[in-house]
Structure 1
Amino acid sequence: MLVYHSSMPVSKRALQVFSDALRHRRAVMGSRWRRLSAGEQALLVLAYLNKGETYTALASGFGVGTTTVFRYVHEGTDVLAATAPTLDKALDVARRKAFVVLDGTLLSIDRVGTASGYDRAFFSGKHKRHGVNVQVIADPAGRLIWASPALAGARHDMGAAREHGLIDRLNTIGVRVIADTAYQGGGPTIRVPQRRRASTPTPAATGACLAHKSKSTPHTPACVVRANGPTRNSSPGTSSARSAAAPVEQLTWSKP
């Protein structure tokens, strides 16, 4: 069995905070002896969550059994979940910010194998893979304030945010929110990018020539004029009705 060194983008401060939380849990449980220290267990759990290492690989690297890794991972995730802020605490923090960022992310998971086709609820058509939908609130610098419980990956971001009560709560307390177009119509405090609208052509632009990318042929004229525009038979004193009834003139380019 080969063992190699690796790295992950997690700060030492995060490891220290996690280790302290595990030590506190062990003290509450009255656990006297463990195969790994609290710091080693914290590192094991972070490697599993961040790198996706298997139980077998972690067991070989840390010199423990597979069942021990399974127990340590579940214990560590429970500790992390207990330290996560509630939505009320997150909104208190968001209220003191100039604005917050609301977005949804898809966390990839393995396919849920069921005979009834229940795994379809976890398949995201947008990302083309199975996962769970998590709503995230961040401060203007991008630091995480709150992450929601996971929902099925096929759930739309707006529907997931409403199910968690985010839309109503954010509008009630008046927090300015920046979000993408998935949250269109979320309320007065949720700002989303304006969707592009087709600009109405002006008369000058309508009567201008429309150049084709392909080479002009008798069947594909390279230039047309506005249907209601003046023609060769019209004069400045002609009425609008007569001008509108005038035949449409098509101009074709002649080969030199």
Structure 2
Amino acid sequence: MIHDPYIVPPLPASWPYEPGRPLRPLGCRVNLDLPGFGSGWRVCTPGGQLIAGEAVPLEGAFGRGGILRVGDLVLRPYRRGGLLRHLNERTYRTHLRFAAEHAVHRGLWEAGFPTVEPLGYAWRPNGLGVEGVLFTRLAEGEAWPRRWDLSRERATDIRQAITSLCDWGLWSPDLNATNILLPPQGGALILDWDRARFMLNGTDLWPRYRQRLERSLRKLGAPTEAMAVTGSAPLP
């Protein structure tokens, strides 16, 4: 059997979240203006919804820059990290990377996983490839590194979310502290599913996630108690 890492598999029996209603299928429109990003975009949104309004920088956002807000929408341009960004910051071979992220993100949202609502993506030719922008619904809250204080309930919520990803076999290489959002009413939302993919059955993902998140926490200078989410420190 051929394994496709972007086809959403059935939920595991241990899934702790209540699945929601399916999102509307995407409709694509061509040669559109995108607020803050100029013209010539192929825009794929639920039902082909247009995006219009004033674009302003998203306050408090981590990332590689250029994240904008239009009303209750967040527009995140795709930017490369690492050393490659010095040679090619925003051009990708095809739009399939953007479509793959949306497919995984959509599967998570419809499964009731604690994340922001995915609302599509856009792409346009750039050089020898394409550049892209991801759309999500704005969610209130602060990125975890903006407020390291962590209650027992909040730490448990983050750990449960990561454990659920492991049980479902979803590996997200960009899971780090800056992609964990703390809403004011409690809980935690996990952001950014670029390059996330479903692994073969039986893959033990917890050591990978633990290593990835702890490296992020150390790099950001997190207090020791933040390690409670990986089990490397006592719960608050």
Same fold (TM over 0.5): no
Instruction: Flag the structure with larger Rg.
Output: 1
Please state which structure has a larger fraction of its residues in helix: 1
Please state which structure has a larger fraction of its residues in strand: 2
State TM-score, norm by structure 2: 0.31
Tell me which of the two structures has the higher relative contact order, counting C-alpha pairs closer than 8 angstroms and 6 or more residues apart. 2
